[in-house]
Amino acid sequence: MSIEIPVDKWPGTVNTVTLGATEADGGTRAKVVTIGGEQSLPFMHFETEMPHSPVIALEMTPSRTDDWSQILLDAWGDVVEDPARWAAAIEAAGADVIVVTFGLTDPAGDPITPDYAVSTVKAVLEASGLPLVVLGPGQADVDNELIVPVADSTKGERLVLGLCEDGNYRTIVASAMANDHLVVGRTPMDVNLAKQLNILMTDMGLPLDRIVMDPTTGGLGYGIEYGYSVMERLRLAALQGDAMTQLPMLVTPGYEAWRTKEAKVGEGVPETWGDWADRGVHWETLTAVSLVEAGADVVVLRHPESLKRVREAIDELMTAAPA
């Protein structure tokens, strides 16, 4: 019997975006990372070749580890006190990208200053050859105050700056344009809101190959299904040819998973939850793998062991041949 395998031919293509720049291209990165370019749903190798594998970022939050699970702190040890050593450890753990997320205060508990942000980013750039994503604390005025000087002092590195949100994107987009950087825009789990923000940002003149989008996701057990379906819908819209959805997607399963009670807390929880450390890593890994199936191009994780597991899954998904 011969079976005609149904093959989807899509008119649209996801934009190709390169994070980071080597010396030849005006930066200092040892490696750059290229994502996007899909012409089919994730890993449908029998339709079109998937040009770039999804990549894995590890996140560091200089000055803000007080809300990190003890399991994470144990995994990283004392490098979390020193951004440069933390960055080197992230590279050694095998990440493709480093995400630096600033909080509202510095390690001494004082309001974070632009100088602190700039010197931290420089230390990270020095300590590692990986491309960087740099995010503010998520409060419009502070974000702008920190991200602008970071952008100015790292011109040409093709950092990914954020978070650009509906109410706060102009300043960050402008400084990215002025300094050859990229941006990431975040919208709350909604196809139309994502499109709208992408329209606003490109209207300012930022080319589409310098934007990635974060459609927001929930952790396993805490709304992952909404994030999962919005990503599938965004990717379908992109393949159908809607230009304002043709952006590679970056999501933060590490942050979402590790703030759930299951991953964060070890005491006073039901026995049926089992071993805490293992549970936390499973929680993060399963959140991430599901989002990769839904079309994530970058997953931002926190635990080095999760990175290994998600890497193995991605590598297998990228292989068409049966084992």
Partner 1 sequence: MALSGIQIYKMLPQTNCKECGFPTCLAFSMKLAAKQVELDDCPYVTEESKEQLAESSAPPIRLVTLAGPDRETAAGNEVVLFRHEKKFFNRPGVFVRVVDTEDTAAITEKVAAASAYTVDYVGIDLNLDGIAVEGASGDPAAFAAAVGAAREATGLPFMLVSDDPAVMEAGWKAVEGEKPLLMGANSSNWEAMVDLAKQAEAPLGVVGETLEELAELTQKIQEAGVEDMVLQPAPTAMGASLAMQTQIRRLALKNFRPLGYPTVAFASDSGDPAKEATLAAHAICKYAGFVVVDSFAPEFVYPILVLRENIYTDPQKPIQVLPAVYEINDPKPSDPVLVTTNFSITYFSVANEVEGSGLPAWLVVTDAEGMSVLTAWAAGKFDAEVIAKAVKEFGVGDKVEKKVIVLPGHTAVLSGELEEELPGWDVKVGPREAVDLPGYLKTVLA
Give the interface segment with ligand B12, choosing from 9-17, 129-137, 146-154, 187-195 (CB under 6 A): 187-195
Smaller CB separation from partner 1, 170 or 261: 261
CB–CB of 20/29 below 8 Å?
yes
- The two tokens of residue 290 are 């599901």
Residue 310 binding result from partner 1, ligand B12, none, given CB thresholds of 5 to 8 Å by partner type:
partner 1
**Cα–Cα dist 182/189, whole Å:** 22
Q: Cβ 33 to ligand B12, closest distance in Å? A: 26
**Cα–Cα dist 234/227, whole Å:** 10
Choice from 46, 49, 77, 92 touching partner 1 (CB under 8 A): 46
CB–CB of 211/182 below 8 Å?
yes
**Cα–Cα dist 160/212, whole Å:** 8
Q: Cβ 87 to partner 1, closest distance in Å? A: 26
DSSP string, 251-274: E-HHHHHHTSHHHH--SSS-GGG-
Q: Cβ 207 to partner 1, closest distance in Å? A: 30
DSSP 8-state symbol, 322:
-
Residue 267 contacts partner 1 per CB under 8 A? no
**Cα–Cα dist 229/231, whole Å:** 5
Residue 208 binding result from ligand B12, partner 1, none, given CB thresholds of 5 to 8 Å by partner type:
none
Where are any strands of DSSP class E within the chain?
A: 16-19, 33-36, 55-60, 97-101, 132-135, 160-164, 182-186, 211-214, 250-251, 298-301
What distances in angstroms separate CA 175 from CA 17, 31, 152, 262, 263, one per listed residue?
18, 23, 7, 39, 37
Residue 225 binding result from partner 1, ligand B12, none, given CB thresholds of 5 to 8 Å by partner type:
partner 1
Smaller CB separation from partner 1, 42 or 83: 42
Smaller CB separation from partner 1, 74 or 225: 225
Smaller CB separation from partner 1, 26 or 94: 94
Residue 293 contacts ligand B12 per CB under 6 A? no
Positions in 195-224 near ligand B12 (CB under 6 A): 216, 218, 222-223
Smaller CB separation from partner 1, 152 or 278: 278
Choice from 31, 85, 155, 279 touching partner 1 (CB under 8 A): 279
Smaller CB separation from partner 1, 10 or 43: 43
CA dihedral 282, 287, 290, 296 (to 10 degrees): -130
| Residues at the interface with ligand B12 (CB under 6 A) | 188-190, 193, 216, 218, 222-223, 226
| Residues at the interface with partner 1 (CB under 8 A) | 1-3, 5-6, 43-46, 220-225, 228-229, 232-233, 236, 261-262, 265, 268, 270-276, 278-279, 281-283, 285-286, 289-290, 293-294, 305, 309-310, 312-313, 316-323
